[in-house]
Amino acid sequence: MYFPNTTWTRLCFAVAVIQGLLALALEAYVFTTVEEGLDPAAYQGNSGHTVPMYLALFIFAFVYEIIIVYDALRLSSMIQLVGVCIYNFLLLIYAAAQPLHVKRALDQLESSFAMGTTPLLNPEHHTWQRIQPAVFAVIVVQAVATLALVFLVYKLHFEFAWVVYKVIHADLSMKKRLLNFQIYLALIKFDFFFLLGFLVQVAALINDPKHDPELGLSVAGIAVATIVMCCAIYVAKIEHKAGTVGIIVAYLCAAIYLSYKLSVLYDEDNYLLIVFAALTLAMMLCTIVMAGVCMASFDKGLRTYTMPQKKIPEEDIYLNAYRQSYAYPPQSPRMDLVD
């Protein structure tokens, strides 16, 4: 099992963990405070789902980020760490939008009444005044963590560049293939978060979970997305062309679904979810393109560096390396860049 073993890798992982714990503690406080003064009838409208939606998304986002950071450090994947920085910045934007949406939702709840007499949110609880510091603190935590991660990833660039050189030496064509492969894997992993994050938000906005089929479809979509992600990584590592074509078809189906949901959300004026869906759709399309680029590199020696050496016959290692260098037998890689 991998453990961060250098100063910069330990600091990078620590920042991800601390950021997640602080942000989730603040979001949990916001949720419990709102729940204190909320009438059960509030969940019949979208305003009552705003705070639970943010809590559900941030729980998933920060837990997944810790996993992604650990995975990137384990694989010495600079591309994946750069993706984490972008991912963190997008979460910062989402956190910055939270105060406006939560304040608007609370105002609507305070001015709406259950059975015509009881406010959906008790004004005497002064809910917004109590949660306002925590909501803005999430933004500060996210901003500081993003800056820290950018600095740490810059420092890790030098460590990981040396690791890659020790494995594939100065083979420029192989470095390009490996770069494309790592971009493709990083896109697959981040697609998984954005698609599941979208489905979680859709499920959180359902007013009648018992009778709305959208909840069942969202749960099924989460299971399918998990299976597709695992299969996509596996078929790419073993360079299975037919399997990769199947993954491209699955991503095209997901893109069609997102396009449909975008049209529905546009009619409902849910702009935050529209942006999330549009970003997910754009990443899906980029993944499809990179799948084609990686498939063009199959059977050209990259599998030597992306599969554990015990799974590849020794004669195949020498044969693949000979095709690439035509000069000297390769040194055995000291580590796997993709596992």
Question: How much is the pLDDT for 317?
Answer: 39
> Residue 89 domain-assigned?
yes
DSSP annotation of 42: G
DSSP symbol at 334: S
Instruction: Find out whether 92 and 143 touch, Cβ atoms under 8 Å.
Output: yes
* In the predicted structure, residue 310 carries a pLDDT above the cut 80: no
The verdict on 141 and 64 lying in the same domain is yes
Cβ atoms of residues 229 and 191 within 8 Å: yes
Domain-embedded: residue 184: no
Together in a domain, 19 and 138: yes
What pairs with residue 38 in β-bridges? 121
For residue 319, the model assigns a pLDDT of 43
Cα 289 to Cα 9, 183, 186: the distances in Å are 31, 11, 13
Instruction: Judge whether residue 197 has pLDDT over 90.
Output: no
Residues 75, 303: Cα–Cα separation, whole Å: 15
User: Residue 116 domain-assigned?
Assistant: yes
Residue 43 counted as domain residue:
yes
Encode pLDDT of 28-40 as tens digits.
999 888 888 777 7
Domain closes at, from 169, 185, 219: 169
- pLDDT at residue 218, as a whole number: 78
pLDDT above 60 (res 318) = no
Kindly tell me if the per-residue pLDDT of 182 is higher than 70. yes
Q: Are 33 and 130 in contact (CB under 8 A)?
A: yes
Q: Where a domain ends, among 121, 150, 169?
A: 169
% residues pLDDT > 70 (the chain) = 78
Task: Grade residue 174 by pLDDT with cuts at 50, 70 and 90.
Answer: confident
Query: Which residue is listed with tokens 């992982």?
Result: 13
Please check whether residues 101 and 160 belong to one and the same domain.
Answer: yes
Does some domain include residue 180? no
- Cα–Cα distances (Å) from 97 to 56, 91, 240, 259, 269, in that order, read 16, 10, 42, 23, 16
Per DSSP, the three-state class of 113 is: strand
Match 């837990």 to its residue by tokens.
63
pLDDT at 268: 66
Q: Is 115 helix (H, G, I), strand (E, B) or coil?
A: coil
Domain contains 290: yes
Full-model pTM: 0.78
Separation of alpha carbons 42 and 40, rounded Å: 5
pLDDT of residue 163: 61
Range of the domain at 240: 206-339
Residue 50 lies in a domain: yes
Q: Is residue 181 part of a domain?
A: no
Q: Is the pLDDT of residue 210 over 80?
A: no
Average pLDDT score, the chain: 80
**Residues 54 and 119: beta-carbon distance below 8 Å:** no
On whether both 161 and 27 belong to a single domain, the answer is yes
Query: Which one has a higher pLDDT value, 284 or 53?
Result: 284
Q: Give Cα separations from 248 to 132, 188, 258 (angstroms).
A: 44, 11, 15
Give 41's DSSP letter. G
φ, ψ for residue 113, nearest 5 deg:
-130, 140
